């Protein structure tokens, strides 16, 4: 059994992919077992044999030609920017749901609630709720379930009660209250990071509205996606001087954010207020012991530019 395990793991040992404890175990066994020691030697020789044939490096000409061809193609290609992100991507949506069981449950519950709401209206207004030949037929994809099917005695009329879930659309400018409300809702609650990114991106155009600024601060502090946090930071950056809440949130991002890009951007935004006491304190901490050499050196440079405090 031991020899079998060793032989299965010798390849990983040769490629340096064995965990430390497993490597130790394998080495201990090989020191005692001549057969396995031979097997390791054979595998090492085979590895060396394969390594004689190296992957050919592309020639400089090939690389230059490929770059030129790509540049030409890029001139006519459309980049996938903002509008593309607004389009619905079912595969991505499904992936999000797959990895978020809690969200999937919430969506399911919302679906049921929506369905129940629809059926309630059907019961409350029997004349309009019962599908007749003149009522526009619901598409199959919007039907979530059939509640009941009854036939009027003595007639050929059939009454079917069914539940549907419908998607609504609203349009308006960024100044429109309803649009702003929906964007604020999407920035905080949407499960799809692409939609959050788009809503935060639009909200950054209205940072003077205090509700919007709150939503951006929320996104900077709590959004799981670094791209969304960076966008929120961009929208807030201009307010670090005048709004102490914004300054605190940006400082928090500078100290705690897990993404180096967000931290670097936060450092850039606090530059105009580096003389502020709270900012100076944070810079001193970063200059003394930050893990990132880049942040550490930038913080030192910024501190060096400040006048001495007596």
List interacting residues with other proteins (CB under 8 A).
8, 11-12, 15, 17, 42-43, 45-46, 49-58, 62-63, 65-67, 69-71, 73-74, 77-82, 84-85, 89, 92, 193-194, 197, 225-227, 230, 259-261, 264, 292-294
Residue 143: φ, ψ to 5°: -85, 125
Q: Output 73 or 309, the one with its CB closest to other proteins.
A: 73
Minimum distance from residue 234 beta carbon to other proteins (Å): 9
Q: Is residue 144 within 8 Å of residue 171, measured between CB atoms? A: no
Q: Is residue 301 within 8 Å of residue 286, measured between CB atoms? A: no
Minimum distance from residue 241 beta carbon to other proteins (Å): 23
Q: Is residue 223 within 8 Å of residue 232, measured between CB atoms? A: yes
Q: Output 39 or 214, the one with its CB closest to other proteins.
A: 39
Minimum distance from residue 157 beta carbon to other proteins (Å): 50
Minimum distance from residue 164 beta carbon to other proteins (Å): 30
Q: Is residue 164 within 8 Å of residue 138, measured between CB atoms? A: yes
Q: Output 163 or 201, the one with its CB closest to other proteins.
A: 201
Q: Output 34 or 56, the one with its CB closest to other proteins.
A: 56
Minimum distance from residue 79 beta carbon to other proteins (Å): 6
Identify which of 217, 300, 223, 287 has the alpha carbon closest to the alpha carbon of residue 255.
287
Which are the contacts of 306, defined by CB distance < 8 A and separation ≥ 6? 274, 275, 280
Identify which of 108, 159, 153 has the alpha carbon closest to the alpha carbon of residue 133.
159
Q: Output 49 or 127, the one with its CB closest to other proteins.
A: 49
């Amino acid at each position: 059994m031991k020899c079998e395990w060793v032989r299965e793991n010798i390849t990983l040992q040769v490629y340096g992919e064995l965990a430390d404890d497993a490597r130790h175990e394998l080495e201990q066994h090989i020191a005692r077992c001549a057969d396995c020691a031979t097997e390791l030697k054979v595998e090492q020789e085979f590895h060396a044999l394969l390594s004689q044939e190296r992957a050919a490096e592309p020639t400089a000409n090939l690389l230059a030609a490929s770059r030129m061809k790509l540049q030409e193609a890029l001139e006519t290609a459309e980049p996938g920017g903002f509008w593309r992100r607004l389009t619905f991507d079912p595969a991505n949506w499904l992936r999000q749901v797959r990895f978020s069981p809690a969200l999937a449950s919430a969506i399911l519950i919302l679906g049921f609630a929506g369905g129940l709401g629809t059926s309630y209206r059907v019961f409350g207004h029997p004349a309009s709720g019962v599908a007749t030949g003149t009522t526009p037929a619901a598409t199959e994809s919007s039907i979530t379930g059939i509640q009941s099917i009854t036939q009027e005695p003595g007639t050929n009329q059939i009454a079917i009660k069914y539940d549907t879930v419908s998607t609504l659309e609203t349009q308006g400018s960024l100044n429109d209250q309803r649009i702003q409300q929906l964007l604020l809702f999407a920035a905080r609650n949407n499960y799809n990071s692409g939609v959050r990114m788009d809503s935060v991106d639009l909200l950054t155009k209205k940072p003077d509205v205090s509700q919007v600024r709150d939503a951006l601060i929320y996104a900077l502090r709590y959004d799981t996606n670094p791209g969304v946090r960076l966008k929120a930071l961009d929208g807030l950056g201009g307010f670090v001087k005048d709004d102490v809440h914004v300054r605190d949130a940006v400082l928090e991002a500078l100290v705690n954010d897990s993404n180096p890009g967000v931290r670097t951007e936060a450092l850039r935004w606090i530059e105009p207020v580096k003389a502020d006491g709270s900012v100076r304190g944070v810079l001193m901490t970063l200059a003394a012991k930050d893990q990132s050499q880049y942040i550490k050196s930038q913080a030192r440079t910024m501190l060096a530019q400040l006048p001495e405090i007596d």
